[in-house]
């Protein structure tokens, strides 16, 4: 079933009162069988959706962006969760070498232009990887605030549908799920890192009630661009100009 053939409003009504697990099961087995992927950062709250997926269908592709600037703890946490949950189709994505050689030869683009760094290391490789899917699942939650305060459970994302099963979850909901299923925390969480991305742009949260207060601190930036950059249809590979 193609994403454009599914009415977003119809699915929104359908999932309004469903649990996250039931919504995932419906998307995976009935609406987009074989055409959906979960995108995961393997961050502090990622184990919730990954655990749900492992019980619904561990063969569903999980897309993981290795930007080249992740904490070693995140990479080890990924390996721990994959083994523990029995996930069978984790695909690690990497940024293209040529654009990095042209625009980030010294590896310091994050200081000069954080948005551009995210575009090269996250947005472009994910967009390429999603090209073969009609829908994708993400782990955003409304309790993160700012641009995430009023998230819809489903929305159009260019030629595909984007699903946010945990849109209405609170921090307590996440903590309760971790405890109920005895899920291991991210190794950096107890050290004050409540939202974890690339190590140059991630600090300990400055506000314990705002998990993302340690991301891009002082840059006036709260999103990498994956959820804020419009997805064209069809995709045009023109993320970095040369010449």
How far apart are the C-alpha atoms of 142 and 240, rounded to whole Å?
32
When pLDDT is averaged across residues 208-228 and rounded to a whole number, the result is 71
How far apart are the C-alpha atoms of 22 and 140, rounded to whole Å?
17
When pLDDT is averaged across residues 159-175 and rounded to a whole number, the result is 93
Confidence label for 3 from pLDDT (cuts 50, 70 and 90): very low
What's the whole-model pTM score?
0.87
Rg of the chain, C-alpha, whole Å: 17
Confidence label for 78 from pLDDT (cuts 50, 70 and 90): very high
**Nearest Cα residue to 94 out of 128, 60, 62:** 128
pLDDT at 5 over 70: no
Is residue 198 annotated as a catalytic residue, yes or no? Answer: no
Most confident of 77-81, 130-134, 156-160: 77-81
Sheet with 160-163, side-by-side order of all strands = 90-93, 62-65, 36-39, 135-137, 160-163, 154-157
Domains annotated on the chain, with CATH: 3-169+176-214 (3.40.50.620)
- Which pair of tokens denotes residue 128? 């390429």
When pLDDT is averaged across residues 153-180 and rounded to a whole number, the result is 93
Catalytic site residue from 117, 118, 201, 224: 224
């Amino acid at each position: 079933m193609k994403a454009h053939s599914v009415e977003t409003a119809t699915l929104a009504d359908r999932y309004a009162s469903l649990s996250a697990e039931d919504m995932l099961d419906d998307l995976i087995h009935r609406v987009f069988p074989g055409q959906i992927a979960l995108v995961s950062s393997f961050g502090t709250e990622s184990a919730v959706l990954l655990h749900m997926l492992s019980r619904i269908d561990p063969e569903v592709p999980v897309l993981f962006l290795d930007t080249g600037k992740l904490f070693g703890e995140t990479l080890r946490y990924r390996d721990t969760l994959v083994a523990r949950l029995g996930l069978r189709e984790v695909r690690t994505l990497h940024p293209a070498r040529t654009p990095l050689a042209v625009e980030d030869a010294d590896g310091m683009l994050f200081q000069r232009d954080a948005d551009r760094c995210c575009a090269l290391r996250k947005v472009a490789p994910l967009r390429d990887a999603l090209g073969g899917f009609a829908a994708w699942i993400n782990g955003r939650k409304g309790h993160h605030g700012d641009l995430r305060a009023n998230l819809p459970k489903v929305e159009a994302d260019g030629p595909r549908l984007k699903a946010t099963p945990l849109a209405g979850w609170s921090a307590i909901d996440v903590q309760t799920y971790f405890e109920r299923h005895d899920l291991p925390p991210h190794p950096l969480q107890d050290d004050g890192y409540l939202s974890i991305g690339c190590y140059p742009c991630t600090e300990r949260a400055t506000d314990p009630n705002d998990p993302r207060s340690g991301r891009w601190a002082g840059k006036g930036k709260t999103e990498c661009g994956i959820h804020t950059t419009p997805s064209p249809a069809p995709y045009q590979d023109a993320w970095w100009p040369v010449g």
